[in-house]
């Protein structure tokens, strides 16, 4: 009964456009309560239901190639999320390593799909046509008399340039997006589980990375620099995705250091809230946000040499 209940909750989340990204939360809760076997049953049942639903939804598309393309696009998200949750409970070790393993699985299944459809002329032409229509609608709605930087850029773009831009943004960030969604789902599920059953939830102030992460961070960002300057065919997107993922992880460590120091020195909640509000404003400010985008991860990395969180000597 509980398996059906949690599978039903996951299906419900998958159908709500504003909450679809929470689909993994009920499955993670089920895994924590009943283990991997129950999770495999619920996830397998959910995959079958979604597969049938998506099959009938795309069945009205006349062109066979486009029908298969849209089927894969719609089925990819539930497949990767359910498989990612399975991996989280099947793999061993630290939660972070299990989340990275799940992200690696998404990479493995995405490569053959991307390789097949990238070379398909019919799919490429369809995507370019859709972007051309979108760009035309945007440009038609722009007020050239009061155009800012963004509006001027959009009004001067050609559909081919927009296609290249969208392709680069997607390929350089899709693993990052998956990493963020599965990590957030795990965090939410952990909060619910410990709220009901007790126990210690994730504490950002105690989050630390081992030195084994430093070399991958340096290598991936050297690859990003190389891709920006001379271009790295086939592997450039990997450097971007894992470089940004590692940047986010080190940023989390940097935030943990600040949280720890706030607690050690008795910084009031008001000051902490004002600091957070100021950080949000800075992040929304172009160019100035680089101070935080670069500075907070560097703070996390610097803990290898500066011990910020040593216990106070009594």
pLDDT digits (tens, 9 = 90+) for 253-262: 999 999 998 8
- Residue 289, helix vs strand vs coil: coil
- This prediction's pTM: 0.87
Q: Do 50 and 75 form a contact (C-beta atoms < 8 A)?
A: yes
Domain extent for 309: 203-314
Length of the chain: 314
Contacts (Cβ under 8 Å, ≥6 apart) of 167? none
Are residue 81 and residue 20 in the same domain, yes or no?
yes
15 or 111: whose pLDDT is higher?
15
Taking each helix axis from N to C end, the angle separating 95-118 and 64-90, rounded to the nearest 10 degrees, works out to 170
Q: Say if CB 244 and CB 169 are below 8 A apart.
A: no
Nearest-angstrom CA–CA distance, 33 and 193: 8
Q: What is the CATH number of the domain that holds 84?
A: 1.10.1760
The Cα–Cα gap between 241 and 223 comes to 11
- pLDDT tens digits, one per residue of 123-146: 767 777 766 766 666 656 655 544
Structural domains of the chain, count: 2
In angstroms, what is the C-alpha Rg of the chain? 22
Lowest average pLDDT, out of 40-44, 76-80, 177-181, 232-236, goes to 232-236
- Burial of 183 (C-beta count, 10 Å sphere; 0-12/13-18/19+): buried
Examine the fold and report which residue of 147, 171, 202 is the final residue of a domain before the chain moves on: 202
- Token look-up 């400010």 returns 285
If asked whether residues 194 and 234 sit together in one domain, one would say no
Q: Which is more confident, 172 or 155?
A: 172
Specify the pLDDT at position 168. Answer: 83
> Do 195 and 279 touch, CB atoms closer than 8 A?
no
Same domain, 185 and 214: no
Angle at the Cα of 281 from the Cα atoms of 279 and 283, rounded to 5 degrees: 70
**Rounded Cα distance, 102 and 86, in Å:** 9
Give 178's contacts (C-beta < 8 A, 6+ positions apart). 80, 84, 102, 103, 106
Counting other chains too, the contacts that 191-197 makes at CB distance below 8 Å and 24 or more residues apart are 192/25, 192/29, 193/29, 193/32, 193/33
Beta strands in the chain (DSSP E): none
Shared domain for 134 and 277, answered yes or no, is no
Same-domain status, 244 and 304:
yes
Q: 79 and 183 in one domain?
A: yes
Same domain for 226 and 191, yes or no, is no
What pLDDT shows up at residue 314?
41
81 and 223, same domain (yes or no): no
> Is-contact 20 13, C-beta < 8 A?
yes
CB 88 within 8 A of CB 31: yes
Q: 201 and 194 in contact (C-beta within 8 Å)?
A: yes
**Residue 115 sits in the same domain as residue 185:** yes
For residues 278 and 176, state if they share a domain.
no
Among the candidates 170, 202, 234, a domain finishes at 202
- Inform me whether the pLDDT recorded for 249 exceeds 90: yes
Residue 49 sits in the same domain as residue 144: yes
Inform me whether the pLDDT recorded for 92 exceeds 60.
yes
237 and 107 both lie in a single domain = no
Tokens of 237: 């997107």
Domain boundary among 140, 170, 202: 202
Place of tokens 């069945």: 59
């Amino acid at each position: 009964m509980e398996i059906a209940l949690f599978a039903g909750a996951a299906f419900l989340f998958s159908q709500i456009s504003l909450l679809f990204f929470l689909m993994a939360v009920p499955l993670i809760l089920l895994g924590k309560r009943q283990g991997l076997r129950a999770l495999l049953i619920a996830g397998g049942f959910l995959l079958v239901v979604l597969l049938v639903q998506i099959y009938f939804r795309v069945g009205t598309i006349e062109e066979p190639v486009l029908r298969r393309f849209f089927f894969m696009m719609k089925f990819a998200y539930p497949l990767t999320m359910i498989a990612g949750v399975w991996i989280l409970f099947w793999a061993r070790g630290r939660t972070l390593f299990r989340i990275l393993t799940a992200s690696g699985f998404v990479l493995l299944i995405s490569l053959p799909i991307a390789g097949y459809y990238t070379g398909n002329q019919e799919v490429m032409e369809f995507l370019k046509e859709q972007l051309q229509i979108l760009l035309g609608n945007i440009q038609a709605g722009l007020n050239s008399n009061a155009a800012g930087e963004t509006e001027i850029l959009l009004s001067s773009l050609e559909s081919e340039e927009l296609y290249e831009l969208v392709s680069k943004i997607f390929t350089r960030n899709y693993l990052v997006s998956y990493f963020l969604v599965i990590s957030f789902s795990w965090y939410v599920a952990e909060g619910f589980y410990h709220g009901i059953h007790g126990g210690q939830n994730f504490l950002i102030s105690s989050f630390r990375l081992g030195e084994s992460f430093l070399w991958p961070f340096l290598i991936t960002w050297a690859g990003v620099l190389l891709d920006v300057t001379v271009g790295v065919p086939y592997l450039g997107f990997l450097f971007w995705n894992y470089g940004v993922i590692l940047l986010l992880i080190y940023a989390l460590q940097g935030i943990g250091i600040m949280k720890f120091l706030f607690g050690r020195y008795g910084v009031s909640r008001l000051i902490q809230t004002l600091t957070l509000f100021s950080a949000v404003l800075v992040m929304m400010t172009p160019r100035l946000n680089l101070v935080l985008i670069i500075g907070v991860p560097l703070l996390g990395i610097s803990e290898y040499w500066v011990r910020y969180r040593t216990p106070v000597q009594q």
